[in-house]
Structure 1
Amino acid sequence: MIKIQLFFILFFIKASTLAQVTYDDRVYLPGIKSVEFYNTSKAQSFPVINLKSSDVLLLAFDDLKGGTRYLNYTIQHCDANWNPSQLSPTEYLQSFTDDRITDYRYSSNTFQKYTHYEVTFPNQSIIPKLSGNYLLKVYIDGDVNKMVLTRRFYVLDSKVSISASVQPSNNNALRQSNQKINFNVNYGGLLVQNPNTDIRALVLQNGRTDKAQMNTQPANIRGSQLIYNDVNTNDFAGGNEFRHFDLRSLKLNSDRVGRIFRDTANTVILLGDPNRNQSAYSFQYDNNGNFYILNQDGQNPKIDADYVHVYFSLAGNKNDNDGAAYIVGKFNNFELNEQSKMQFDSGRARFYTDLYLKQGVYDYEYIWIDKNTKVPDEIAFEGSYYETENDYQILVYFRRPGARYEELVGYTLLNTTKR
């Protein structure tokens, strides 16, 4: 009897653990790598599509376990804060509630064997019929408790116009380091009863949810125009251009590659990284944190790009007694966890780590977390400068009086170098 009770206790503990879903970009299985999710009009673009249009999103990822899994996917409508909307799937889906991923291929001529999966939607099976925030869920064997990954995306029904600009911070102490975003929203096409409560706007830096500011009220209202220019809001640290490395070829060294070893596995040692928190800005091209799967030595990087053990080292002028260093980028969803945490070599006074990455071009940066404050600090290793090139996404949400969900009625992309 005790054994039976123990079995059911363990079963329910496991089931409740599996059922937990984070409404953010997450990977739940360790063998799932190289997740790409974007509007097919441009590789690695922000995942926003227009409602009832020909826009298509692509999801692609590798399963290092190999073989074939029975994978399903569905989408869930959410509000602007990424809480599930009070809607049933039949209210926001035009067709079926889920579908199976049937497009998969096995790797070819690679040390690391993997299965590459892809799906594009909206398609005949999955069609959203309402605008707003959505969470894409991929799971095993038709069981939503066996989650593989989740990804956020946005469906736009454009009903407002947005004009935006970037300028130095209003705070004199931050004018050389911060970028202040001011914007106006013209809602003339909407029947708005109270613009202070019915409309809110979200500003993202480089599409990052960890660098987002929600505007719940405008600073001023002029007729049907909402003005967001409060001196204390939408003031972002400019950061620095992302560091990068190029693994498109394993036959020759790129500008950041120190050595390449190819025997029973691929290993790359990158040149050491310095602390870039300097007094002056130094320009370099970057991809705003993105990564691109590419292989110059093959024909199809989706299945013939190989995986590589990439070794990083950082002279951060800090040590592990004071805190911890992390390496982040779009490739790991900018997550600060044990996988992105770096080790400290006291003999060399450097932080180091190795990551298992697919061939391509990668942006990355280092984050410091002080052991006392526990606050992520991007500036400690990278610095922050007003001149840094960044993308800002502005999304406008509207909740009609009495409605049970928020519509996404406006979107614009602002680049700091195109003013």
Structure 2
Amino acid sequence: MRKYICVIILLSFALNSFAQKPYADSVFNQYIKSIQLSSTAKEASFPIIVLQSGEQLQLAFDDLRGSVRNYYYTFEHCDSKWLPTNVAVAEYLQGFREDKIIDYVYSTNTIQKYTHYEVKFPNQNMSFKISGNYSLKVYEDSNKEKPLFTRKLYVLNNKVSVSGDVLTSSNPSYRQTNQKINYQVNYGSLNVQNPNRDIKVLLMQNMRPETAMWNVTPTSIRGTQLIYNDVSINDFAGRNEFRRFDLRTLRVNTERVGRIYRDTANTVMLLGDPLRNETRYSFQFDNNGNYFILNTDGFEPRRDGDYAHVYFSLATNKSDKDGAAYVVGRFNDYKIDALSKMEYEPVKGRFFTSQFIKQGVYDYEYVWVDARTGVRSDIPIEGTHFETENDYQLLVYYRPINGRWDELVGYKLLNTAKK
């Protein structure tokens, strides 16, 4: 009996080891930089389009190796948790299964040489047949097993209506720090037999996956209207406005830029950053974590925007024995890894690091990972306030009892400052 139990345990471990991990925005090649995926109608927007509407997304990225390579892209249909579905490619893609990226330009008048690539889709070669989550994969020489990077995108088939409000927290302890989302989903003529099973809603703050909250059970139901307003759900830390710096020019110091060195490479020293975990809120304009490729020194940022080693410096009342600090933003997919980790300088009592990034305007913030608990949070460094201006993305998924995939049937963008 013990022998059989051991075999079962080993098989279970092996199956879990090979289990598919959810797709995420990831980069697997160090030479690929400045990846942007957004609607052609608005730069840096949430990557969502309406099914068969004529709307398009645009992918852009740079290859720092500078030569022209054979890059291809394809899409994989995923469920609401970003795991691959069992849907055949022919069921979710119209046209080819993969396409070559043929739109590229060489950099001009830059110290860092690179090749800039772009592609828009859906296009005449590839389009989507069904709604849902899609993972975009870009790879070289048709080798799908070794992607250069992956990106999430959303295809919407509007079948429900969504409305909502951003309020202060219902919990008196969090009214100065949190923001609460109350919303309603009206599914109309959609065939919903069991709302607790057929419909689920994902909420995100500023397009950040780590902030995501799932709602499966509505608080109440009125006819075809599902109401989500329980006091215990959708209570988000308001956080703080993002820090930002302006690198549109490398000729003079601009916002938050302390010094610029230009030689065989561009080096930019940002002004030192203090802690912001105060109870009092202070407004400053930001782009909710986004970044924009811009260059006032040239004429076309996609080809004449240069790269620079940008140095960040953070003063704290903590040391590397207490934990680790990371610099994050949409420019690095909010990744907590070796590339975003900051080193500690005990003499000055500061954390510092550098990021190799393209000219533009960037939002960023600092995340602290506690050495004792392992908990990651931006609040110990940045603070949190209910007044902070934030975007909230609400995504409604529908899967009937005999459905084979999660349909994306509703989307709503809420903003704390726009009612």
- TM-score, reference length from structure 1: 0.94
Cα drift, residue 203 of structure 1: 0.4
The CA deviation string for residues 149-189 of structure 1, in whole angstroms up to 9 with x for no partner, is: 10001101101111100111122111110110010000013
Give 2:93's aligned residue. Answer: 93
Task: Give the Cα separation in 2 of the matches to 1:88 and 1:255.
Answer: 50
Task: Give the Cα separation in 2 of the matches to 1:229 and 1:21.
Answer: 32
Task: Give the Cα separation in 1 of the matches to 2:392 and 2:162.
Answer: 13
Matched residue SS, 2:95: coil
Task: Give the Cα separation in 2 of the matches to 1:144 and 1:138.
Answer: 8
Task: Give the Cα separation in 1 of the matches to 2:216 and 2:69.
Answer: 43
Give 2:311's aligned residue. Answer: 311
Give the letter for the 1:198 counterpart: D
Q: Does 1:261 align with 2:236?
A: no
Cα drift, residue 58 of structure 1: 0.5
Cα drift, residue 85 of structure 1: 1.3
Give 1:167's aligned residue. Answer: 167
Alignment of 1:25-64 (within 5 A): 25-64=25-64
Alpha carbon RMSD of aligned pairs, Å?
Answer: 1.3
Alignment of 1:100-111 (within 5 A): 100-111=100-111
Change (3 A) 1:389 1:259: same
Cα drift, residue 255 of structure 1: 2.3
Task: Give the Cα separation in 1 of the matches to 2:21 and 2:160.
Answer: 33
Give 2:147's aligned residue. Answer: 147
Cα drift, residue 401 of structure 1: 2.2
Quick check: 2:93–2:126 contact (8 Å CA) kept in 1?
yes
Cα drift, residue 251 of structure 1: 1.1
Q: Does 1:238 align with 2:232?
A: no
Give 1:251's aligned residue. Answer: 251
Task: Give the Cα separation in 2 of the matches to 1:23 and 1:138.
Answer: 13
Quick check: 2:71–2:139 contact (8 Å CA) kept in 1?
yes
Q: Does 1:383 align with 2:370?
A: no
Quick check: 2:21–2:83 contact (8 Å CA) kept in 1?
no
Query: Which runs of 5 or more residues in structure 2 are unaligned?
Result: 1-19
Task: Give the Cα separation in 2 of the matches to 1:250 and 1:153.
Answer: 33
Matched residue SS, 2:227: strand
Query: Which runs of 5 or more residues in structure 1 are unaligned?
Result: 1-19
Task: Give the Cα separation in 2 of the matches to 1:219 and 1:343.
Answer: 46
Give 1:404's aligned residue. Answer: 404
Change (3 A) 1:140 1:22: farther
Q: Does 1:283 align with 2:283?
A: yes
Give 1:158's aligned residue. Answer: 158
Cα drift, residue 219 of structure 1: 1.1
Give the letter for the 2:161 counterpart: S
Give the letter for the 1:132 counterpart: G
Give the letter for the 2:264 counterpart: T
Task: Give the Cα separation in 2 of the matches to 1:185 and 1:273.
Answer: 42
Which consecutive aligned stretches of 4+ in structure 1 deviate over 4 angstroms post-superposition?
A: none
Cα drift, residue 234 of structure 1: 1.0
Task: Give the Cα separation in 2 of the matches to 1:364 and 1:281.
Answer: 18
Task: Give the Cα separation in 2 of the matches to 1:125 and 1:28.
Answer: 26
Q: Does 1:129 align with 2:165?
A: no
Q: What count of residue pairs does the alignment treat as equivalent? A: 402
Give the letter for the 1:211 counterpart: T
Cα drift, residue 54 of structure 1: 1.3
Matched residue SS, 2:324: strand
Give 2:66's aligned residue. Answer: 66
Task: Give the Cα separation in 2 of the matches to 1:53 and 1:255.
Answer: 40
Give 1:138's aligned residue. Answer: 138
Give the letter for the 2:27 counterpart: V
Quick check: 2:22–2:83 contact (8 Å CA) kept in 1?
no
- TM-score, reference length from structure 2: 0.94
Matched residue SS, 1:232: coil
Task: Give the Cα separation in 2 of the matches to 1:208 and 1:291.
Answer: 14
Change (3 A) 1:294 1:251: same
The CA deviation string for residues 290-339 of structure 1, in whole angstroms up to 9 with x for no partner, is: 00000001011001000001111001211000100000000000000000
Task: Give the Cα separation in 2 of the matches to 1:308 and 1:213.
Answer: 36
Alignment of 1:323-334 (within 5 A): 323-334=323-334
Cα drift, residue 22 of structure 1: 5.6
Cα drift, residue 216 of structure 1: 1.2
Task: Give the Cα separation in 2 of the matches to 1:232 and 1:55.
Answer: 37
Matched residue SS, 1:397: strand
Quick check: 2:22–2:81 contact (8 Å CA) kept in 1?
no
Task: Give the Cα separation in 2 of the matches to 1:41 and 1:182.
Answer: 29
Matched residue SS, 1:317: coil
Give 1:205's aligned residue. Answer: 205
Give the letter for the 1:361 counterpart: V
Give 1:5's aligned residue. Answer: none
Q: Does 1:292 align with 2:292?
A: yes
Give 2:17's aligned residue. Answer: none
Give 2:229's aligned residue. Answer: 229
